[in-house]
Amino acid sequence: MVSASRLTPIREALERYLRRLNSILRPPEAEEVSVLESLGRVLAEDVVAPADLPPFDRAVMDGYAVRAEDTFGARPDRPVRLKLVGRCLAGQEERPAIGAGECAEVATGAMMPEGADAVVRAEHAKRLGDTVEIYTPVPPGSSVDKAGRDVRAGDVVLRRGRLLRVPDVALLLALGIQAVRVFKRPRVGVLSVGDELVDPLGPEKPGRVRDVDRPMVMLALRELGAEPVDLGIAPDDVSAIRETIAEGLETCDALITTGGISVGPADLVAGAIQGLEGAEVVVHRVAMRPGRPVALCLVRGRPVICLPGPPAACYLAFLMFARPVLLRLMGVEPGLVPVWPTARAVLARRVPSRVGITDLVRARLTLRPDGRLVAEPVALRGAGMLSTLTGASGVVIVPEELDVVEEGSEVEVLLFSCPGLAEREERSVVSHEEAG
């Protein structure tokens, strides 16, 4: 049996590797992209607001622009009467001025007239020829978006290292910014190892196994925002593997291998890496099940991450180790995006575990009517079984110090993805609120 004492605990493994990477990695190169193409990219520079937002005082209601003090004391039975001196439409360039006792008609979105500091809504006033009767007092600033209220010129609105989301792009557009400098997507080579493997889209061959790890990892890379590079399938041969890795590193920023690692003597990939000049195996074998054979390496200053071959183990090891490393390579500011996208859930069924190993228990997640996430274990074993992944939405992370987690315990769950976060227990939208 394999001794657990030689395995590195998962947090220690990742921390050691990231620390080592931080000491040698330089910031990625930057490139300029159109703001419309920047969603999901990572800012390579702080973005400073070039102007106030909104750029001018703006009416946010239809009504009458006034000097607020003129409306004080107004009552429905004793309205204040103001002289109508102009009209401000949305999009209009000219800007009238109002003085004491005067007002101007304004439309939502229009620039406020000079001298006005509030809007009386149309339904609280009445126009009588050149005069407007005001029935309610308004405080200064009422129904007005002041210039710079949202953002002030010179403010840093988004920081370097930010993974841009939809509202971020909207803010850039609102500020009139048309292009931003973002980090280039890291090029990540993906290599599968195994004599038995054939391309999954090629013809079937008896005795052969379709290589799903490589396309799976490539899709996961693309989803994350990296650029996958297909390095194909290498045979179970140390020199062939070594050569492919060396070649891959000439054009890629990082490499991911799948298969060809093992806790037994068949540890071909680690052997291949150790034989390369400037290679360093920072972590070799982790206290995690499935996924134990993981190796986290550096070759000529570039990350080489070796994932196990069985597809379920490969995917989970990708989420646990490759994803956090890739976020760093993408230039994402640490802390801005969780290293492991986890949520808290209630465990639906008792799970035995093994002390000294972090068990990743595949689980179906459902949202209970009370809003709690429930994790129902579907599989612990079966490192190769893809159906256990498609039947799950995440894995319960059972800490290495536990030999069992009882039903009803609160546990940490690593989520596979956001859209599949959880199934609702009830099919109705109205779920609990109507039911309760």
Looking only at residues 305 through 364 of this chain, which bind a second copy when binding is defined by CB under 8 A? 309-312, 315, 324, 334-339, 341-344
Strands 295-299 and 351-352: unpaired
Exactly one of 141, 275, 356, 384 binds a second copy (CB under 8 A); that residue is: 384
Verify binding: residue 149, a second copy, rule CB under 8 A: yes
Verify binding: residue 127, a second copy, rule CB under 8 A: no
Verify binding: residue 300, a second copy, rule CB under 8 A: no
Structure tokens at 113: 């007239």
Q: What one-letter code names the amino acid at 118?
A: A
Dist CA 140 CA 120 (whole Å): 10
Verify binding: residue 429, a second copy, rule CB under 8 A: yes
Number of residues located near a second copy, criterion CB under 8 A: 123
CB atoms within 10 A of CB 120: 28
Window 175-204: contact mask with a second copy (x via CB under 8 A): -x-x---------------xxxxx-xx--x
Verify binding: residue 93, a second copy, rule CB under 8 A: yes
Residues 14, 22 contacting (CB under 8 angstroms):
no
Verify binding: residue 278, a second copy, rule CB under 8 A: no
CA-wise closest residue to 351 among 304, 297, 412: 412
Verify binding: residue 248, a second copy, rule CB under 8 A: no
Torsion sign across C-alpha atoms 326, 327, 328, 334: negative
For the CB of residue 10, give the shortest distance to a second copy in the complex, in Å: 10
For the CB of residue 34, give the shortest distance to a second copy in the complex, in Å: 8
Verify binding: residue 32, a second copy, rule CB under 8 A: no
Window 216-245: contact mask with a second copy (x via CB under 8 A): x--xx-xx------------x---------
Verify binding: residue 168, a second copy, rule CB under 8 A: yes
For the CB of residue 381, give the shortest distance to a second copy in the complex, in Å: 10
Structure tokens at 220: 């996961």
Which of residues 236 and 280 has its CB atom nearest to a second copy in the complex? 236
Classified as helix, coil or strand, 321 is helix
Verify binding: residue 419, a second copy, rule CB under 8 A: yes
Verify binding: residue 421, a second copy, rule CB under 8 A: yes
Q: What are the two backbone dihedrals, phi and then psi, of residue 43, each rounded to the nearest 5 degrees?
A: -60, 135
The beta strand positions in 254-318, using DSSP E, are: 254-258, 279-284, 288-289, 295-299, 302-307
3-state helix, strand, coil in the chain (%, to 5): 20, 35, 45
